[in-house]
A and B are shown apart, each in its own frame.
Chain A
Amino acid sequence: MADRVSIETVTKYYGQTLVLDRVSLAVKPHEVVCLIGASGSGKSTLLRCINRLVEFDHGVIRLDGVANDDPAFGKIGLYRRIGIVFQAYNLFPHMNVLDNITLAPRKVHRIARKEAEEAARALLAAFGMSEHALSYPEQLSGGQQQRVAIVRSLATNPDVLLLDEVTAALDPELIGEVLRIVRQLKDDGMTMVIVTHEMGFAREVAERVCFLESGRILEQDAPSRLFANPQNPRTQKFLQRIIEAGRL
């Protein structure tokens, strides 16, 4: 099967600092790939390069074979086909849940309000959040806000979903409800690239886990193999620290 997302020797500097060093990674349709590694290893930057929230210096990233800076995508094509969810939810605090979800469909994709709201309500219902449709973000718990943010990213019916440490800002008892939605998306066949510190979750949902350090993918493998039998000494060291912290 052709690659859905294909990252080819991407290099990125922030000023003088090299943050991505010739990274290559291919993601098949319906595949779930987790990026793990210490803070500052370049995972989030790599994720943001995929939908061009961050511009990179060298290399190319293709979506279904088309480079993500190809004019064929127009101004909005890439953003419609790739959804992203952030660590801090980044919901719009002055809009209720329904308006948060329908903003892009209505204003960017010119769908009538009635139609957009019906679609949004259907999505909320599918993820068990119908009762929050008219709530404002500040009235919701962190876990609920993050679930709304996920639904918002799904409103344009994207082909790929990027999750950037979506549980890192949550209290432990709220993580489960967010991960449940991600599992549901996996079961629906969504292609996902997930940056996470939840190793147990990565082991459970990922087809492949990539370990990043200093802007390079040092090792990638099926989670059963990578977690049980890491080959690279740096991966071993990282996982050792995770185990010592009781997080695996």
Chain B
Amino acid sequence: MRPSAASPADDGAANRALADGPPPPARKKASLRDRLLPAVTSLASVVVFFGVLAYVVTSAEQWPRIKRQFFSLDAMIEAFPAVLRGFWINIQVWLIALVAIAIWAMVLALVRSLQGPWFAPLRVFSIVYIDVFRGLPALLLVLLFGFGIPALNLPGLPSSGLFWGTVAMILCYAAYAAEVYRAGIEAVHDGQHMAAKSLGLTQWQAMRYTILPQAIRNVLPALLNLTVALQKDVALLSVIGVRDAVREAQIYTAQTFNYSSLIAAAVLFMVATVPMARLTDYVARRDRGRRLQGAA
């Protein structure tokens, strides 16, 4: 046997001996100059760099025309109410699609991970579905659903382009999200399955209580990335006549031949997506920290 009982006592004695000796030298202190200099340098270089860039761009001969065409404040103000109203449509479609995608993609991923010969038809369905909808351009699906289905005049089904366009986005993005979920499920260590089984959990209980919670945590950054991408891709609905922010901006452009309304829409998209992107970075960083801690 190992002399396990003896070693902690020895450590303790060694620590006490150290503590009784002279105190350790004080921590090295950085001077105010050493601490501030890097920050000041960064700030100054950023200001100089972008200042020079702005000067070069705005002093170009063509700048006044470019400014009038894209950055006309008057045009932006004039177009803004309609663009904002359109953007509200984007947000609504985005939120509804998010919920539907989260659920539908989960169903697809779970079906694909089912084991046993009886589930083969469901597994095949899930695989084919994901292959098809991941293989097609989102724009094609939006056109197909947004124009095609309303043209059928099917009784009992809505005929609005907004509805079918949203359905197209859900079907398309669910294929991507299902693959993300599946990657998360497969990344959970085999020992977790074994532990769940040895405790008597059924396949479904093991998934529900032990595997899925870990899987979702694993892929949260990837899911947030998809969320950001979806928010921008909702603008695809503008091609089937949905009056979203992009469509409203285009209408203004068509009337005035000024593109500043599109820039106004762009700013709205940025305001919505940049915080989401930052959140994704934050979650990914925290997740990495947690993993490193777990590995140590």
Interface set of A (CB-CB < 8 Å, partner B)? 51, 53, 75-76, 79-80, 83-84, 86, 88, 90-94, 103-104, 107-109, 138, 152-153, 156, 172-173, 175-176, 198, 200-201, 204
Contacts and interface: CB of A to CB of B under 8 A. Distances in A.
Contacts of B205: 107-108
A91 B197 CA distance: 13
A104 B201 contact: yes
Contact of B194 (A83, A90, A173): A90
Interface in B1-56: 1-2, 4-5, 7-8
A172 B210 CA distance: 30
B191 A108 contact: no
B77 interface: no
11 contacts: A53-B194, A83-B198, A90-B192, A92-B209, A93-B294, A94-B217, A103-B201, A103-B210, A153-B198, A156-B200, A200-B1
A92 to B, nearest CB: 5
B202 A176 contact: no
A171 to B, nearest CB: 10
Interface of B: 1-2, 4-5, 7-8, 189, 191-192, 194-195, 197-202, 205, 209-210, 213-214, 217, 290, 293-294
A138 B210 CA distance: 16
B214 A176 contact: no
Contact of A104 (B4, B194, B200, B293): B200
B214 A94 contact: yes
Contacts of A109: 200
Contacts of A103: 199, 201, 209-210
Interface centre among B1, B189, B205, B294 (most CB of A within 10 A): B1
B294 to A, nearest CB: 5
Contacts of B191: 86, 88, 90
A108 B199 CA distance: 8
Given A51-B198, A53-B194, A86-B194, A175 B2 contact: yes
A172 B2 contact: yes
Contact of A173 (B4, B197, B294): B4
Contacts of B7: 173
Contact of A80 (B4, B8, B200): B200
B100 to A, nearest CB: 26
A200 B198 CA distance: 28
Contacts of A83: 198
Contacts of A53: 194, 197-198
Contact of B195 (A90, A108, A138): A90
A76 B217 CA distance: 29
B142 to A, nearest CB: 38
B85 to A, nearest CB: 43
- List 3 tightest A-B contacts by C-beta distance, closest first: A79-B200, A200-B1, A90-B195
A198 B1 CA distance: 8
Nearest to A204: B1
Contacts of A51: 198
Given A172-B4, A173-B8, A108 B194 contact: no
Given A93-B214, A172-B2, A172-B4, A86 B201 contact: no
B201 A107 contact: yes
B199 A104 contact: yes
A123 B109 CA distance: 38
Contacts of B214: 92-94
Given A94-B213, A172-B2, A173-B4, A108 B201 contact: yes
A91 B189 CA distance: 11
Nearest to A177: B4
B198 A84 contact: yes
Contact of A92 (B5, B192, B294): B192
A93 B209 CA distance: 11
B214 to A, nearest CB: 6
Given A93-B294, A103-B209, A176-B5, A79 B198 contact: yes
Contacts of B217: 94
Nearest to B197: A53
